[in-house]
C-alpha cells in the first residue's frame, strides 16, 4: 500500500486530464457523451418496513439512502476545454425512480472564478451555483436535494486555475420519500403556517427551518437569539436527530418552505437554503443540540432569531412550528397549561427534563407533529422557546395527540460543560438573563455590515492566497449620521477606511486584505476576528471571523495492518485474517483485507453474537499536538442490523476517558464490499497530544446476527506546521519585524539550540541580519535597522 501520495497523485492526474483535453473539444459535448454513474433503484417496500421501526424507536426520519463512492475530476467525469478560456467538467448521476438526489463532497475548494452547478439533466430543476464563497474551514460541501432521478454535475473554472480545484464526491444520496415524493405526506389535520392562525406568529415562523443531515436524515430546528444580540447564527434542534462534531458540516437548512395557500399542504419552494454548521453542544437528558451555521442566512431569507425562556415555569399555552414529514411548515396549538414530566411519562414532575403537551383537537386549531418534526421549537405564551420536540405518539390518526419537549431550563446547565449546556452560548455576556425576546436577523436600524460571511483565504506557504482581500459594505440604517470603527488584531491583515462617519441612509466600504506578512507564515490555520463597532449608539455592532489556511492536509500516520499495531481489544475483537464466515443475515466476512491479508475485525470467524454489550477496539495514543484539520480515513467491511436493534460506532477521545461519536450506523448495512470512510475528527483531535481512535461493536439485541466490523488501511491526515520562509529580523515569525522581536533576537544571539527550543517553527538564521552567514553581535545594528520594516 502506498502512503502520503494521494494529494500529489490527484493533482498530477488532474493536470494530465486537463492537458489531454487541450486542443480537443471546443464546445460542450452532448450530455449523452458525459461520464455516467448509475445506481440501481431502491427497494422502497423494504425501506418502508425499516422506517416503521425507526420511527417507533424515536430515530430521526430518513428520506434517502447513502451510497459511498470516491469520485474526483482527476479520475471520473468528462473534461472539456471551451473557447472562452474556461475548462468544463461534467458528471451524470442517476437512480431510476428516485424523487430526489443529493451529494456529499467531503473535499471542496473552488478557485476564484469557478463554480459548481447541479441540475436535473433535462433542465427541469436547478440549484444556484456554488462558488469560492462556499469554501469553508471544514472543507466540505453537502448539497440540497435536486428533485430528479437524473442529475448533471458541472464545474466551470478558468483553465489557468483549474489545477487548484479540489473536489471529492464521497456520498451519493438517493431519495425515496419526503422531498419530491408522493408517499408519506403530512397528515391533513396539519395547519399551514400561511393560514390566519399563524398571523400572530409571523416572526417566530421565520425562525424555523427543516434540515437534512448526512444527506439521508431530516429534522426541524430553529434559529435562536443570544444575550449579546450579535446575531450569531445559532440553530437549536434535538439531540436524537444525530448531529455531532463529525457530521455537522453535512447539515443543509431550508428556510421559508411553506405552502403559499392555506390548506394546500404543498406548493412550497426549497430555493432558500444554506449548507454547513459547527457543532457546539448537546445533552441527551433534555435531548438538545445547538449548532452554529457556517454562514449567516442571506438577507433575502428574512430569518428571525427566536427568543427564549430558561425558567422552570410551565407554558400556560403552547405553540409548535414544525415541518411534519419534512413537508411545508405547519403550526400546532395547545391552549391548556402544559406540565413537567419525564420523557415517555405522565406523572409530574417526573425527572423534570421534559414538557408534556397535548394538542388541541378542535378545528380550526387542530394540529399535531409527525416524523420530521423532531427538534422543532415549543413556544410559550410569550412567544419564547422553552423546549424542542423529542417525540410522542401524536399524529392525525392517533387517539393520543401528545408530545414531549426537552426543557430549555434543563438544557441551560445540561451536563455542566460548555459542550453539554446552552448557557455559555446563549448568554455569552454572563448577564444571568432568564428570558430574552427574539430579533430579526436583518437589521432594521443602526449599522448593517455585508457580506455576512467571514474572510477565509487559503494557499501554500509563501503565497499567493485566494482570495487576497474582501470588501465589506457598511450601511447606516438610521436617519442621522453614525460613526464607526473596524479593528483587527494581527499583522498579516490590513484595513482600508477602518473608521469614519456614514451619513444618514448612506454607506461606506472597508477593505480587508492580506499583507506581505502572510507570506512569511508557515503551514497552519491562523485566525482573527474583525470587530465592526457603531460608535454612535452600538446598534448593529457585529463581528466577522477570519481564517487563513496555509498548506493542505497530508498523511501523518498510517496502519496498513500487515503487522499488528498492538491496539487494545475487547470481546472478540482481533487482528488477523478473516475467514469469510458468518452471514446469517447480510454478507459474510471477507477473506482478506482491502490490501494484504490482515484486518482488525470483530469475530474473524463469523458473525457477532446476540445480546452483547459494547466491545471496543482502541488505538494507542496518537500525537496530534502539531496538527490541525485532522481527519480519520479507513476502509470498512461492515455488516450490522438497523440501529433499532444493533449498533456500530466510531469514536474519538483526546484523554482516553471522554468519547465523541463521529460515526454510527443509521440503517441496516449488509456488507459485501469494502467501503471508504473519511471522517472529520478535528473538533476532538486538533492540537491534542493524545488522541485515541475507537471502533465499537454493540450493543445487539436477541436476534439477527451480521458479520460486524472488518477494518483495514487506517490513516490519520492533518495539516502539519512548517518553517516559514526566511525573513531577516522576524524572530517570532509573526510576519513583521517590530519590538516584539527583540527578546527572541537576544535569545538567538545565545545560540541555535536555545532559540530553536523556544521557537521550533522559526528559522534561527532570521537573526543573521547582516547576511554574513553567521549569527553574532555584528547583527545587532542591522537588526535595529530592520525594526518597523
Judge if pTM exceeds 0.75: no
pLDDT grade, residue 10 (50/70/90)? very low
**What CATH number does the domain containing 665 carry?**
2.60.120.260
The CATH number assigned to the domain holding 225 equals 2.40.10.10
Burial code (b: 16+ CB inside 10 Å, e: under 16) for 640-677 equals bbbbbbbbbbbbbbbeeeebbbbbbbbbbbebeebbeb
CB within 8 Å of 702: residues ≥ 6 apart: 610, 611
pLDDT tens profile 591-615: 999 999 999 999 999 999 999 999 9
Q: Nearest CA to 534 among 427, 450, 438, 449?
A: 449
Number of domains making up the chain: 5
According to the model, what pLDDT value does residue 311 have? 93
Is residue 374 very low, low, confident or very high in pLDDT (cuts 50, 70, 90)?
A: very high
Compute, in degrees rounded to 10, the torsion defined by CA atoms 289, 295, 299, 301.
-50
Q: Of 440, 474, 494, which closes a domain?
A: 440
Cβ count near 40 (within 10 Å): 9
Computed over every residue of the chain, the mean pLDDT equals 90
At 239-287, the pLDDT tens digits run 999 999 889 999 999 999 999 999 888 889 999 999 999 999 999 999 9
pLDDT digits (tens, 9 = 90+) for 44-84: 999 998 888 887 777 888 999 999 899 999 889 999 988 88
93 and 226 assigned to the same domain: no
> Same domain, yes or no, for 546 and 562?
no
Considering the domain architecture, whether residues 126 and 210 belong to the same structural domain is answered as: no
The CA–CA distances, whole Å, from 26 to 33, 75, 671 equal 14, 21, 44
240 is catalytic: yes
Residues 545 and 558 in one domain: no
- For 433, residues 6+ apart whose C-beta sits below 8 A from its C-beta are 227, 427
Here the CATH number for the domain that contains residue 153 is 2.60.120
Q: Is residue 182 part of a domain?
A: no
Phi, psi of 391 (to 5 degrees): 165, -175
> Are 630 and 501 within one domain?
no
Do residues 427 and 340 both lie within one domain? yes
Spatial contact of 551 and 722, defined as CB atoms under 8 Å apart? yes
Task: List the catalytic residue out of 184, 287, 360, 734.
Answer: 287
Gap between the Cα atoms of 371 and 406, Å rounded:
16
User: Is residue 414 included in any domain, yes or no?
Assistant: yes
Higher pLDDT, 192 or 58: 192
Evaluate whether residue 589 is within a structural domain.
yes
Q: Does position 21 have pLDDT exceeding 60, yes or no?
A: no
Are 611 and 701 in contact, with CB atoms under 8 Å apart? yes
Q: Looking at the structure, tell me whether residues 689 and 611 fall in a common domain.
A: yes
Spatial separation of the C-alpha atoms in residues 455 and 712, rounded to whole Å: 38
Looking at residues 102-106, what average pLDDT do you find?
A: 96
Residue 83: what pLDDT? 82
Say how many C-beta atoms besides its own lie within 10 A of residue 122's C-beta. 10
Please identify, among 489, 522, 550, the residue that sits at the C-terminal boundary of a domain.
550
Q: Does 292 map to a domain? A: yes
Residue 330 main-chain phi, psi, to 5 deg: -125, 165
Q: Is residue 184 part of a domain?
A: no
Residue 148 has pLDDT above 80, yes or no: yes
Q: Are 676 and 583 in contact (CB under 8 A)?
A: no
Catalytic: which of 216, 374, 409, 653?
374
Pair (240, 299) in one structural domain = yes
Active-site residue, from 67, 240, 354, 763: 240
Q: For residue 376, give Cα distances in angstroms to 198, 290, 319, 409, 537.
A: 16, 12, 10, 16, 35
What is residue 362's predicted lDDT score, i.e. its pLDDT? 67
Q: Report the C-alpha gap between 191 and 196 in whole angstroms.
A: 10
CA distance 772 to 564: 52
Residue 186 lies in a domain: no
Lowest-pLDDT range of 523-537, 663-677, 686-700: 663-677
Q: How far apart are CA 540 and CA 766, in angstroms?
A: 44
In whole angstroms, what is the distance from residue 430 CA to residue 484 CA? 26
Nearest to 663 by CA among 646, 681, 675, 645: 681
Q: Is residue 79 domain-shared with residue 59, that is, in the same domain? A: yes
Give a yes or no: residue 415 inside a domain: yes
What pLDDT shows up at residue 456? 85
| Residue 641 and residue 599 share a domain | yes
Q: Are residues 395 and 273 in the same domain?
A: yes
Report, as an integer, the average pLDDT of 210-227.
95
CA dihedral 747, 748, 751, 757 (to 10 degrees): 70
Is there a single domain that holds both residue 254 and residue 385? yes
Residue finishing a domain among 175, 209, 242: 175
Residues of the domain holding 476: 449-550
In a domain, 615, yes or no: yes
List, for residues 447-470, the tens digit of each pLDDT value: 999 887 788 898 888 888 988 999
- Asked whether the predicted pLDDT for residue 141 surpasses 70, the reply is yes
- Non-local CB neighbours of 363 within 8 Å, separated by 6+ positions: none
Amino acid at each position: 500500500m502506498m502512503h502520503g501520495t494521494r494529494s500529489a497523485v490527484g493533482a498530477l492526474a488532474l493536470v494530465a486530464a486537463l492537458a489531454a483535453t487541450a486542443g480537443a473539444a471546443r464546445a460542450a459535448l452532448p450530455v449523452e457523451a458525459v461520464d455516467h454513474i448509475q445506481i440501481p433503484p431502491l427497494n422502497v417496500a423494504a425501506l418502508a418496513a425499516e422506517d416503521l421501526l425507526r420511527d417507533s424507536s424515536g430515530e430521526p426520519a430518513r428520506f434517502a439512502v447513502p451510497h459511498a463512492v470516491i469520485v474526483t475530476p482527476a479520475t471520473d467525469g468528462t473534461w472539456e476545454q471551451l473557447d472562452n478560456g474556461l475548462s468544463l467538467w461534467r458528471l451524470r448521476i442517476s437512480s431510476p425512480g428516485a424523487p430526489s438526489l443529493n451529494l456529499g463532497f467531503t473535499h471542496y475548494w473552488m478557485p476564484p472564478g469557478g463554480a459548481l452547478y447541479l441540475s436535473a439533466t433535462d433542465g427541469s430543476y436547478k440549484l444556484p451555483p456554488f462558488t469560492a464563497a462556499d469554501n469553508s474551514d471544514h472543507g466540505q460541501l453537502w448539497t440540497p436535494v435536486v428533485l430528479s432521478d437524473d442529475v448533471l454535475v458541472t464545474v466551470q473554472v478558468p483553465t489557468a486555475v483549474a489545477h487548484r480545484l479540489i473536489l471529492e464526491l464521497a456520498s451519493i444520496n438517493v431519495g425515496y420519500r419526503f422531498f419530491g415524493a408522493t408517499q408519506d405526506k403530512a397528515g391533513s389535520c396539519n395547519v399551514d403556517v400561511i393560514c390566519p392562525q399563524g398571523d400572530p406568529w409571523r416572526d417566530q415562523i421565520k425562525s424555523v427551518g427543516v434540515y437534512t443531515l448526512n444527506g439521508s436524515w431530516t429534522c426541524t430546528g430553529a434559529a435562536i437569539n443570544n444575550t449579546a444580540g450579535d446575531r450569531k447564527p445559532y440553530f437549536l434542534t434535538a439531540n436524537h436527530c444525530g448531529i455531532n462534531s463529525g457530521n455537522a458540516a453535512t447539515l443543509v437548512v431550508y428556510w421559508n418552505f411553506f405552502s403559499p395557500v392555506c390548506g394546500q399542504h404543498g406548493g412550497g419552494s426549497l430555493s432558500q437554503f444554506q449548507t454547513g454548521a459547527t457543532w457546539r453542544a448537546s445533552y441527551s437528558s433534555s435531548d438538545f443540540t445547538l449548532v452554529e451555521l457556517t454562514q449567516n442566512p442571506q438577507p433575502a431569507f428574512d430569518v428571525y432569531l427566536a427568543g427564549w425562556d430558561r425558567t422552570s415555569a410551565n407554558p400556560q399555552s403552547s405553540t409548535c412550528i414544525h415541518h411534519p414529514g419534512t413537508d411545508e411548515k405547519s403550526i400546532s396549538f395547545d391552549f391548556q397549561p402544559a406540565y413537567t414530566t419525564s420523557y415517555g411519562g405522565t406523572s409530574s414532575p417526573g425527572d423534570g427534563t421534559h414538557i408534556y403537551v397535548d394538542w388541541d383537537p378542535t378545528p380550526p386549531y387542530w394540529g399535531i407533529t409527525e416524523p420530521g418534526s423532531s427538534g422543532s421549537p415549543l413556544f410559550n405564551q410569550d412567544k419564547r422557546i422553552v423546549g424542542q420536540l423529542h417525540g410522542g405518539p401524536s399524529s392525525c390518526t392517533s387517539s393520543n395527540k401528545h408530545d414531549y419537549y426537552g426543557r430549555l431550563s434543563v438544557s441551560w446547565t445540561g451536563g455542566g460543560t460548555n459542550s453539554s449546556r446552552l448557557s455559555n452560548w446563549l448568554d455569552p455576556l454572563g448577564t444571568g438573563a432568564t428570558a430574552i425576546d427574539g430579533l430579526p436577523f436583518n437589521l432594521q436600524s443602526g449599522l448593517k455590515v455585508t457580506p455576512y460571511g467571514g474572510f477565509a483565504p487559503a494557499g501554500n506557504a509563501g503565497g499567493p492566497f485566494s482570495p487576497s482581500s474582501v470588501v465589506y459594505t457598511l450601511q447606516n440604517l438610521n436617519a442621522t449620521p453614525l460613526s464607526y470603527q473596524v479593528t483587527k488584531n494581527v499583522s498579516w491583515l490590513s484595513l482600508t477606511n477602518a473608521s469614519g462617519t456614514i451619513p444618514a441612509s448612506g454607506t461606506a466600504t472597508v477593505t480587508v486584505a492580506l499583507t506581505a506578512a502572510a507570506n512569511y507564515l508557515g503551514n497552519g490555520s491562523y485566525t482573527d476576528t474583525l470587530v465592526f463597532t457603531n460608535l454612535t449608539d452600538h446598534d448593529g455592532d457585529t463581528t466577522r471571523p477570519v481564517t487563513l489556511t496555509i498548506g493542505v492536509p497530508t498523511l501523518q500516520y498510517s496502519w496498513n495492518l500487515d503487522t499488528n499495531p498492538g491496539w487494545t481489544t475487547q470481546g472478540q475483537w482481533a487482528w488477523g485474517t478473516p475467514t469469510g464466515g458468518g452471514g446469517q443475515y447480510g454478507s459474510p466476512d471477507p477473506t482478506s483485507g482491502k490490501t494484504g491479508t490482515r484486518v482488525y475485525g470483530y469475530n474473524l470467524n463469523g458473525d457477532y453474537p446476540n445480546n452483547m454489550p459494547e466491545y471496543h477496539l482502541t488505538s494507542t495514543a496518537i500525537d496530534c499536538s502539531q496538527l490541525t484539520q485532522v481527519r480519520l480515513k479507513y476502509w470498512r467491511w461492515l455488516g450490522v442490523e438497523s440501529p433499532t436493534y444493533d449498533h456500530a460506532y466510531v469514536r474519538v477521545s483526546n484523554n482516553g476517558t471522554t468519547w465523541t461519536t463521529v460515526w454510527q450506523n443509521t440503517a441496516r448495512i449488509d456488507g459485501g464490499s469494502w467501503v471508504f470512510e473519511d471522517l472529520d475528527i478535528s473538533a476532538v483531535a486538533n492540537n491534542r497530544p493524545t488522541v485515541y481512535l475507537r471502533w465499537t461493536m454493540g450493543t445487539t439485541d436477541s436476534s439477527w446476527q451480521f458479520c460486524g466490523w472488518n477494518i483495514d488501511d487506517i490513516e490519520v491526515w492533518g495539516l502539519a506546521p512548517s518553517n516559514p520562509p526566511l525573513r531577516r529580523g522576524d524572530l517570532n515569525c509573526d510576519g513583521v519585524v517590530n519590538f516584539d522581536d527583540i527578546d527572541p533576537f537576544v535569545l538567538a544571539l545565545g545560540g541555535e539550540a536555545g532559540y530553536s527550543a523556544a521557537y521550533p517553527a522559526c528559522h534561527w538564521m532570521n537573526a543573521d541580519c547582516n547576511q554574513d552567514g553567521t549569527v553574532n553581535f555584528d547583527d545587532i545594528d542591522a537588526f535595529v535597522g530592520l525594526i518597523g520594516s
